Amino acid sequence: MANITEQATNNSRSRSAARVKRHSARTDMTPMVDLGFLLIAFFVMTTEMSKPAVTKLVMPKETTDGHVNKICNSTALTLLIGGEKLYYYVGDWEQAQDAGEVYETSFSVKDGIGKVIRERQAWLGKEKISGEGRDGLVFLIKPGKEANYQQVIDAMDETQINGVKRYVIVSPGEEESALLARK
């Protein structure tokens, strides 16, 4: 027959098994602190490395008689910006206009003003007109009334891309403004 066991002997054991031991929740914060310092270091490094750069812009000084200093005709390249129209010429305006050497161009990457700048720099480097070679190029940017801010910035970008050391933003003369308004 079957034996009958008393549960009284195991009664103390079953009471402890029924009770769940609860420990206090203890979280290790070391990884969280490490992550916090890594994020701080990341933001400090990225803000230090991305400081805005300011382009130095030197405007020509006027002489005592009110005229702007003259530059050598062979080193001067002028860009006239008039809305959708861009024109360039080398040297003096009057000589270029008389010779019919005022050309239309664009901001195209392949055939635009950047190509003109590179060709002029190559010519200056080959001819050795000034003692500076290709760095002797003086780029005159003359925005008209119809020109917008983006076009002036695009022209300045071309100077940076092509390594033009000297560039000036000046107002176009009366005859240059008339050309921009006429065409």
Mean pLDDT confidence for 84-110: 84
Q: Is residue 111 part of a domain?
A: yes
Q: What is the pLDDT of residue 84?
A: 80
Provide the mean pLDDT of the chain: 78
Q: Is residue 6 part of a domain?
A: no
Angstrom CA distances, 26 to 5, 23, 29, 82, stand at: 43, 9, 9, 72
Mean pLDDT confidence for 6-21: 58
Helix (H, G, I), strand (E, B) or coil at 52: coil
Burial 3-18 (b: 16+ CB within 10 A, else e): eeeeeeeeeeeeeeee
Q: Is residue 126 part of a domain?
A: yes
- Is the pLDDT higher at 1 or at 52? 52
Indicate if the pLDDT at residue 157 is higher than 80: yes
Percent over 70 (pLDDT), the chain:
73
For the chain, how many structural domains are there in total?
1
Angstrom CA distances, 67 to 57, 64, 72, 99, 180, stand at: 20, 7, 15, 25, 23
Q: What's the pTM?
A: 0.60
Q: How far apart are CA 155 and CA 142, in angstroms?
A: 10
- Give me the torsion for CA of 17, 23, 25, 29, rounded to 10°: -120
**Pairing status of strand 85-90 against strand 76-82:** antiparallel
Whether residue 88 contacts residue 106, with contact meaning beta carbons closer than 8 Å, is answered with no
Mean pLDDT confidence for 159-183: 83
Q: Is residue 107 part of a domain?
A: yes
Residue 100's domain is classified under what CATH number?
Answer: 3.30.420
Q: Is residue 42 part of a domain?
A: no
Report the candidate in 180, 165, 181 with the shortest Cα–Cα distance to residue 79: 180
Lowest mean pLDDT: which of 63-67, 107-111, 136-140? 63-67
